[in-house]
Copies of this chain bind each other. A is one copy, B any other.
Amino acid sequence: MTGDTPYESLTPDTLPARLGGLSAVTDHAGDPASWTVEEVGDGNLNLVFIVRGAAGAVVVKQALPYVRLVGDSWPLPLYRAFYEYNTLTRQAARDPGMVPVIHHFDRDQALIVMEFLSPHTILRGKLIAGEKVAGLGDTLGRFCARTAFRGSELSMKSADKKADVALFAGNVEIPAITEALVFRDPYCDAEMNHHTPGLDPVINTLRRDVAMKTGVQALFQRFASNQETLLHGDLHTGSVMATGSDIRIIDPEFAQYGPMGFDLGMLTANFLMAFLSQPGHRQDQNLTGYQDWILAVIANTHDAFVAEFTYLWRRERTGMLYPAALFEDQGHSSEAALADVLQRIWTDAVGFAGVEMHRRCLSLAHNADFEAITDPAIRAPLEARNLMMGRDLILSRADFPDAAALCERARQFNEKDIL
């Protein structure tokens, strides 16, 4: 398979013949004669194969020219694999060991061969199953801080960052999905929307709230314009794989330049949804104990973000923004400036969290935390809490001093009878 071969999607049957000559695969999976190939893609967009052989296993991820969740009526450019590859290499440099090792990239085939993570499973499934992961918040908060800081002009040379902004500006259709599904569709009668029966009164409340919609659009404008750093762009609990103690980040195909608080906000929202959906998955002491653990993860994520960002601010602030020449070199502390930057990041994160909580119950791509609750009579009231808390976060995004305050608010919504 060379760069001159036109794109063709793989199947488990064709994969050995087409990739059998690649040392990037045979080095890790052994002789093609020994391979078994399984297609396991459960995401919304791509083909994902596990290739197991005598020497081990690899993952082969290939983009499809359309949105898998919807079908070929929604075409989507193959070039997203190029941006995913470029993002994985940057993330690997900025937080080593946190993303899968890349063995091979083929731009024409929109295909990435990468490390097979085992026995890792998707974090969202663990949260639904009530499993804990040691060090989760610390690791995720540090990842968000390192990628946010090291991808920004706090750290990078401005010319390098501008060149990278230009590169990623070529990625148009993928951000367009977020733009439509996250920032618009939840707040109007969009074609692909669906929601649990019984939520209409809450949805009407949201759509009538002009102040909240104005907040959503202010956040949208920041997301679309404010290219502070290279984001993962889709950092929900389905983009995290873990064992009981090892944690990796996958699937950055929604990468784009955006506000430093975006990934932290997405992640926080998805933990809040895990928290609020727990009464649909377990009861009594198991419920209370596990919900407490999820809130602790949220707090740890935030605290680790602040600690790591602070560390990097003090040690790696080599970019043009907030230069030492204006602070330390004149004998002045820059800690107040750091606090100001962190406050803006956190305000953004809280606001983006609120928007994410809305779209995951109202727009196209719902999340399993709620969807796995099969009885709509149980699901709807939990989603109602989630939707109303999302509204609260958007409206009050500047008013949360820290994650502890956010967790306290989550406990209050967890008790509310909204429907």
Contact = CB atoms under 8 A, between A and B. Distances in A.
A138 interface: no
Contacts of A40: none
Given A187-B326, A321-B221, A227 B227 contact: yes
A337 B214 contact: yes
A248 interface: no
A188 B325 contact: yes
B169 A337 contact: no
Contact of A224 (B153, B208, B216, B332): B153
A323 interface: yes
Interface string A30-66: 0000000000000000000000000000000000000
Given A176-B158, A326-B184, A221 B214 contact: no
Interface in A212-228: 213-214, 216-218, 220-222, 224-228
Given A184-B325, A217-B321, A217-B337, A330 B166 contact: no
A13 interface: no
A62 to B, nearest CB: 25
Nearest to A166: B169
A329 interface: yes
A172 interface: yes
A413 to B, nearest CB: 24
A290 interface: no
A388 B158 CA distance: 30
> Which DSSP category, helix, strand, loop or mixed, fits chain A's interface?
helix
A323 B214 CA distance: 11
A191 B220 CA distance: 41
A244 interface: no
Interface in A366-405: none
Interface string A152-181: 110000110011011101101001100110
Contacts of A22: none
A332 B218 CA distance: 17
What is the oligomeric copy number? 2
A343 B320 CA distance: 28
Contacts of A210: 327, 332-333, 336-337
B179 A218 contact: no
A227 B330 CA distance: 31
Contacts of A322: 217, 220-221
Given A170-B166, A188-B326, A337-B210, A228 B221 contact: yes
Given A227-B225, A320-B224, A321-B220, A214 B336 contact: yes
A169 B162 CA distance: 5
A17 interface: no
A8 interface: no
Nearest to A258: B225
Interface in A127-167: 152-153, 158-159, 162-163, 165-167
Contacts of A162: 169-170, 172, 175
Interface string A316-350: 00001111011101101100110011001000000
Contacts of A214: 336-337, 340
Given A158-B176, A225-B153, A322-B217, A188 B330 contact: yes
Contacts of A90: none
A211 interface: yes
Nearest 7 pairs of A and B residues by beta carbon: A166-B169, A214-B337, A225-B228, A166-B166, A188-B325, A159-B172, A217-B322
